[in-house]
Amino acid sequence: MMAAEEEKPGLKSSSSIVPCFLFVELVIMAGTVLLAYYFEYTDTFPVHIQGFFCYDKTFSKPYPGPDETSKIPPLLVYSLVTGIPCFTVRPCG
């Protein structure tokens, strides 16, 4: 058996391909974040409101909106969704 430190001539170490995988992963993650941002803040897909509407004020409540009721700011959520996979999905070795 060969020792773990010895390598055959002409074979490349697998560590030379790690930066390539990291670069591809970062490009995919950045593209996903940009698409999420684009779809969130543009009218690419118009919203169709469907359902039963009762205009009686005694049954209605004001809608506070997602930013007013959220305990975590959206920027922090997007940062965690982007950052956690980058640090947890990494090559072994």
DSSP for 25-69?
Answer: HHHHHHHHHHHHHHHHHS-SS-----S-----TTT------HHHH
% of the chain at pLDDT higher than 90: 13
**Distance, CA of 18 to CA of 93 (rounded, Å):** 10
Q: Could you read off the pLDDT of 21-66 as tens digits, one per residue?
A: 788 889 999 999 999 888 888 887 777 777 777 777 777 677 666 6
More confident residue, 30 or 69: 30
Position of tokens 């640090």?
Answer: 87
What local confidence, expressed as pLDDT, does residue 11 receive? Answer: 61
**Distance, CA of 4 to CA of 26 (rounded, Å):** 31
Q: Which two tokens stand for residue 26?
A: 């970062």
